[in-house]
A and B are shown apart, each in its own frame.
Chain A
Amino acid sequence: MKHSSAVSVREVSKYYNQVRAVDTVSFEIEGGAICALLGGNGAGKTTLLSMLLGLLLPTCGELSILGTDMRRHRYQVLHRINFSSPYVDLPQRLTVRENLLVYARLYGIKHLRQRLAELAGQLAITEFLDRAYGSLSAGQKTRVSLAKSLLNRPEVLLLDEPTASLDPDTAASIRQLLREYQRDTGATLLMATHNMLEVERLCDDVIMLRAGKVVDRGSPDWLLQRYGRDTLEDVFIDVARDTGRVGNGGGE
């Protein structure tokens, strides 16, 4: 299931009147990679994810997933991708089971109850399958949203802060699950995150954004070396504040 380029973004910009949310961004992500979009608030991460999903039309540029133009032919590929975000809800009054069954049908999943049981076990949500989604804690909702995003065994999984609101133990097990999922299926994962630990432990590729532009890219180790820093958090602050500290570690 490998693709030379699972995600392709070419010269993409998004303007809201005079505001440039994303400004001439280009990058490619190889099939099977786990890539992070890293940047401060307003850097353009969620805007980029939304455009990749086809929820938001770019002002100009081309976006494709698995070789399909997401602006014009997104329906050809939507059943092969999925998305999770703690900021997009599921119907509150439906139980977790009902929500997942509805989405399993939307994705045309065969043996849906079996798939649901499988995911419920993996994400430890079995005990609250029959509780209303609205009654769950933020962390439980994040796990349910992840279960929804894995229903169709996506080849490309787009994640907006996948471990937001999770305690460290649960976050670690979710990262482990995502890593195993990627290893077993060869899927490509692209996540927008602020969580440096997550990036260090999970991602092999980091795209750094500031004010809607890509300002740097590389593996976590390479970025540490390039910025001469011990932690990605320091690299993040350097990039966010535009301190000009680049290349001190010999990466330049």
Chain B
Amino acid sequence: MQSLGRIYAMVLRYVYLVRRSWPRLLEMIYWPAVQLILWGFISKFFETNSTWVAQASGVLMAAVLLWDVLFRAHLGVSLAFFEEMYSRNLGHLFVSPLRVWELAGALLTISLLRTVIGIGGAALLAIPLYDFSIFGLGLPLLGFFANLLVMGWAIGLLVSGLVLRYGLGAESFAWVSIFAIAPISGIYYPISVLPEWLQPVAWLLPSSHVFEGMRAVMFEHVFRSDLMWRAAGLNIIYLLMGVGAFLLAFNSARTRGLLLRVGE
């Protein structure tokens, strides 16, 4: 119960921050909405010019919304952690009874809230604008969402660990890491499009299984539980690696004396 109280305190700290900073609040909703609007028009165009897209109207919009789940989940963790580093507050936090895993728990909770608000807004916007509802994917949507959220958390914890270890100069990892995996996640095209040598690498990503599963639901009206379970299995490994990297970075920071002098 005490742990929950401390996690709540850290979430509350973030809520305080966002509610008095309209740029942060706007940023949460703005990018998913802009992405959705852009891909909505592209979808409209392809529906009449591409037989593939025409077979499953809305596949590109579903892909962009689900990709944004991964992206926002990752940023939700990383940016919330960067806020603590920007404010040079880690020294106070880590002499309080707050445990490292409680801080990680708070970061994941903040990420969930940010993702639901950002993607939820864009998903609702798609209904009147393009007559497309991602909720039409039905129950599998929950599985897709959960898998991408967890993968985003894992990357976010890894990036936060790197920034804790190497300072805010390593902040660009937040952007580099996510865009590096985008081409091999099969967001807008099947994994079979990739060169043969690259396909085994792509299948090591939970996101590849999710997007392949999404297309199976939309094109073949089949729920591929095998893909879902493989994504979940990989995510367990990813999350353990993310948490491990964060804890290693924390211990390294304690050895090197970085917690009191965080910065560039």
Contacts and interface: CB of A to CB of B under 8 A. Distances in A.
Interface of A: 16, 46-47, 50, 53-57, 75, 78-79, 81-83, 85, 87-95, 98, 101-103, 105-108, 132, 148
A149 to B, nearest CB: 9
B92 A108 contact: no
Interface in B167-192: none
Interface string B1-25: 0100110111011001100110000
B97 A89 contact: no
A55 B260 contact: yes
A69 B251 CA distance: 17
Contacts of A87: 260
A46 B261 CA distance: 11
Given A78-B96, A95-B16, 13 more contacts: A50-B257, A50-B260, A53-B95, A56-B257, A78-B97, A88-B88, A88-B91, A88-B92, A91-B89, A93-B20, A105-B6, A106-B6, A108-B5
Contacts of B255: 56-57
Contacts of B141: none
A148 B91 CA distance: 13
Given A50-B260, A102-B16, A90 B89 contact: yes
Contact of A75 (B8, B92, B97): B97
A102 B10 CA distance: 7
Contacts of B13: 91, 94, 98, 102
B204 interface: no
Contacts of B6: 105-106, 108
A174 to B, nearest CB: 18
5 contacts: A55-B259, A88-B88, A89-B89, A102-B12, A106-B6
B212 to A, nearest CB: 42
B97 A79 contact: yes
B172 to A, nearest CB: 23
Nearest to B20: A93
B225 to A, nearest CB: 41
Contacts of B251: 57
Given A75-B97, A103-B92, A88 B260 contact: yes
Which residue of A81, A89, A102 has the most chain B CB atoms within 10 A of its CB atom?
A102
A79 B2 CA distance: 11
A128 B98 CA distance: 27
Which residue of A50, A54, A75 has the most chain B CB atoms within 10 A of its CB atom?
A50
Contacts of A55: 91, 94-95, 254, 257, 259-260
A75 B3 CA distance: 12
Nearest to A79: B97
Nearest to A51: B257
Interface string B74-97: 000000000110011101111111
Contact of B17 (A91, A107, A148): A91
A132 B13 CA distance: 13
A184 B9 CA distance: 29
